[in-house]
């Protein structure tokens, strides 16, 4: 269900005669980059991060190649393994203690959305397929996971290309996973990026040409969307793509969005989702990013290069090589934006 005040704001914005000018953004240098994906053109898409708390230097980054499969990379960007799959778009993971589960939106059948599940073998640095599971009609696009705080139940959200969002319950208690669609929500136009705050049970979704929305992630909650930020051409430039979280305390921290239209990343302060700044990646020994689709951010100690956390962004133009993913120290972002 669309919120009329937000729609009204969008119509008012369209009535202006002068084009908005994007807010300036400081540049932060990438610390490392992954090996390029094997396929050309629009191929690399979305990353996920696993933190090895015992040995931070052995943490892993997952990245999709939506034309070929899914990669596992080291913190230096070296490709450690590759798992073939037809058309995986977005990926997310959760460390459940006894094992690490990754879920990807599967677009191999554009008439029926699927979720592909994997176990991340953290010793071998390889994704082991657990199967692909139908969700509902339409083309799968975005994907994010949620672990419900009160009972540790695992859910996934599959964002379809037309703006529908299907929530699935993922049951891993048996010999084989069970994936059950438990409810659907709807945004008006093409959407993709999503992220869930495990602390608060809030789902954030990016509607590419419109803005960012918030839902209650619990399957028993209303399906009404709350508008939280609009594509205004100043702080957030279409397309609004990947989303990531930097949690702090009970409900604070930052929501980060890929402002694809001007090759920047926009931060919003939680819990009120107020604009907090924006940055770009570039200006160092490693080339910068542009046309970013997926992003991921995880706080914590990843070693000397990433003492406060790791931010990973897909690079849409890594010429002369094919696309890849860039790594940035979260400490560098905080310093550039003067964040506390």
- Name the phi and psi angles at 313, rounded to 5: -135, 135
Is the predicted pLDDT of residue 4 greater than 90, yes or no?
no
pLDDT band at 51 (very low <50, low <70, confident <90, very high): very high
Q: Which tokens is 212 given?
A: 């960012």
> Parallel, antiparallel, or unpaired for β 295-299 and 112-121?
unpaired
CB–CB of 179/135 below 8 Å?
A: yes
Mean pLDDT over 280-288 rounds to 94
What are 183-205's pLDDT values in tens digits? 999 999 999 999 999 999 999 99
CA-closest candidate to residue 169, choices 158, 181, 184, 151: 181
Q: Give the 3-state secondary structure of residue 337.
A: helix
Cα–Cα distance, 61 to 327 (Å, whole number): 10
Q: How confident is the model at residue 13 (pLDDT cuts 50, 70, 90)?
A: very low
What confidence tens digit (pLDDT) does each residue in 111-129 have? 999 999 999 999 999 999 9
Task: Count helices and strands (H / E) in the chain.
Answer: 2, 25
pLDDT band at 149 (very low <50, low <70, confident <90, very high): very high
Q: Determine if residue 173 is left, alpha or beta; phi over 0 gives left, psi from -120 to 50 gives alpha, anything else beta.
A: alpha
- From CA 117, how far away is CA 73, in angstroms rounded? 18
Q: Provide the whole-model pTM.
A: 0.94
Give the tens place of pLDDT for each residue, 72-103: 999 999 999 999 998 999 999 999 999 999 99
């Amino acid at each position: 269900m669309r919120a009329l005040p937000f729609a009204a704001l969008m119509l008012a914005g369209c009535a202006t005669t002068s084009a908005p000018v994007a807010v300036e953004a400081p540049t932060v240098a990438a610390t490392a980059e992954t090996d390029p994906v094997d396929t050309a053109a629009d191929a690399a898409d979305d990353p996920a991060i696993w933190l090895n708390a015992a040995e931070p230097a052995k943490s892993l980054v997952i990245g999709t190649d939506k034309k070929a499969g899914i990669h596992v990379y080291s913190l230096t960007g070296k490709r450690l393994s590759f798992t073939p799959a037809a058309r995986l778009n977005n990926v997310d993971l959760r460390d459940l203690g006894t094992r690490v589960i990754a879920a990807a939106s599967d677009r191999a059948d554009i008439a029926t959305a699927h979720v592909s599940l994997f176990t991340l073998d953290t010793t071998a640095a390889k994704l082991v397929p657990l199967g692909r599971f139908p969700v509902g009609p339409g083309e799968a696009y975005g994907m994010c996971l949620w672990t419900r705080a009160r009972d540790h139940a695992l859910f996934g959200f599959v964002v379809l290309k037309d703006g529908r969002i299907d929530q699935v319950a993922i049951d891993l208690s048996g010999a084989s996973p069970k994936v059950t669609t438990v409810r659907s929500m709807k945004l008006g136009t093409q959407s993709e990026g999503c992220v869930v705050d495990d602390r608060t049970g809030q789902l954030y979704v990016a509607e590419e040409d419109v803005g960012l929305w918030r839902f209650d992630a619990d399957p028993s909650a209303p399906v009404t969307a709350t508008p939280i930020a609009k594509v205004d051409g100043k702080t957030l430039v279409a397309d609004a793509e990947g989303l990531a979280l930097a949690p702090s305390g009970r409900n604070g921290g930052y929501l980060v969005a890929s402002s694809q239209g001007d090759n920047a990343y926009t931060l919003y302060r939680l819990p009120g989702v107020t604009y907090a700044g924006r940055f770009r990646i570039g200006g160092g020994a490693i080339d910068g990013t542009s046309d970013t689709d997926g992003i991921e951010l995880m706080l914590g100690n990843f070693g000397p290069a990433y003492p406060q956390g790791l931010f990973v962004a897909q690079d849409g133009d890594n010429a002369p090589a094919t696309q890849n993913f860039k790594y940035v120290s979260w400490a560098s972002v905080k310093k550039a934006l003067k964040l506390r």
